[in-house]
Amino acid sequence: MSLQEEFAQIAREDGRAALVTVVQGPHKGEKLLVRADGSSEGTLGDPELDAEGKAAAEELVWAERSEVRGDLFVDVTNPDPRIVVFGAVEYAQHLSALARVCGWRPYVVDPRARFATPERFPDALGVVAAWPEEAFEELGAPDKATYIVILTHDPKLDDATLLIALRSDVAYIGAMGSKRAQADRRERLLAAGVPEEDQARISAPVGLDLGATNARETALSIMAELAAVRHRRAGGRLSQSKGGGRIHATADAK
């Protein structure tokens, strides 16, 4: 089986991997396949290029973008990004629906079995009635491509989720809550041994400033923030962006 076919097979199975190809220079056309666990197959024809390719692949496979690095092209395939929403509330219903429209994979978690039902969340790919630790056992551990959104308003559940999220290397942690609720949370987390600088990873209040006036718009503002974070953008208006406003998503590869 060629490395191209192996890469294709991983893509078919919604897996995560990078296929590095030399696109310029004497080793043009040589390939190296790097899997999510860091294992690799093939060679770019030169140990230095292999090391360079492997390092770039290990970074980009989690950043979830394909990119040129010198003479190498790193082609990435990855599952759709995963949102784990804590709190089986109305916002979570709309956020799940928007996530599906945007091509993300939403999951909803709430230990209250009465609220965490598949019927209430038809758009979620999974609804788990359990505490966060157990839920992550079922859904798979939080990883660098997981986005966590906390909508519970319940300090016990908030904190249980935050303590797991902050110990992981998830891409994003967002939490709903008023200034007052945030101040209380800050104190509780400090008491639980989470220093200020770690708490800075929490986006609170969650969402972009859209002036949302109902639950659907609030869900839109959360989804918009998630997309902006994923694409490393601030989330402003294109008409007011400096440099003429790049409409298309382009990363300057060179």
Partner 1 sequence: MKDVIEDVDRWVDEGAKVAIATITGTRRSAPRPPGAKMAINDRGEVSGMVSGGCVEGAVIEVADTILNGDGEPQLLTFGIADEEAWDVGLPCGGEIDVWVERFEP
Chain residues in the site for partner 1 (CB under 8 A): 2, 4-5, 7-8, 11-12, 21, 23-24, 28-29, 65-68, 73, 75-77, 246-254
Q: In the complex, what is the shortest distance from the CB of residue 58 to partner 1, in angstroms, rounded to a whole number?
A: 17
Sheet of 172-175, strand order? 126-128, 105-109, 82-86, 146-150, 172-175, 202-203
- Closer residue to partner 1 in complex, CB, 2/178: 2
Cβ contacts of 193-197, under 8 Å, gap ≥ 24:
194/162, 194/163, 194/166
- Closer residue to partner 1 in complex, CB, 31/94: 31
Q: In the complex, what is the shortest distance from the CB of residue 144 to partner 1, in angstroms, rounded to a whole number?
A: 18
Q: In the complex, what is the shortest distance from the CB of residue 20 to partner 1, in angstroms, rounded to a whole number?
A: 11
Residues contacting 157, CB < 8 A, separation 6+ = 86, 87, 110, 111, 131, 132, 150
Q: In the complex, what is the shortest distance from the CB of residue 51 to partner 1, in angstroms, rounded to a whole number?
A: 20
- Considering only CA atoms, give the Rg of the chain: 20
- Closer residue to partner 1 in complex, CB, 61/164: 61
Q: In the complex, what is the shortest distance from the CB of residue 46 to partner 1, in angstroms, rounded to a whole number?
A: 18
Residue count of the chain, please give it: 254
Residues contacting 27, CB < 8 A, separation 6+ = 44, 45, 46, 49, 71
Q: In the complex, what is the shortest distance from the CB of residue 63 to partner 1, in angstroms, rounded to a whole number?
A: 12
The identity of residue 167, as a single letter, is R
- Closer residue to partner 1 in complex, CB, 76/97: 76
Residues contacting 28, CB < 8 A, separation 6+ = 22
**Are 152 and 175 a contacting pair, CB within 8 Å?**
no
Q: What is the DSSP string of 36-84?
A: TTS-EEEE-SSHHHHHHHHHHHHHHHHHT--EEETTEEEEEE-PPPEEE
Q: How many CA atoms lie within 13 A of 157 on its CB side?
A: 21
- Closer residue to partner 1 in complex, CB, 113/251: 251
Q: In the complex, what is the shortest distance from the CB of residue 83 to partner 1, in angstroms, rounded to a whole number?
A: 19
- Closer residue to partner 1 in complex, CB, 193/244: 244
- Closer residue to partner 1 in complex, CB, 70/205: 70
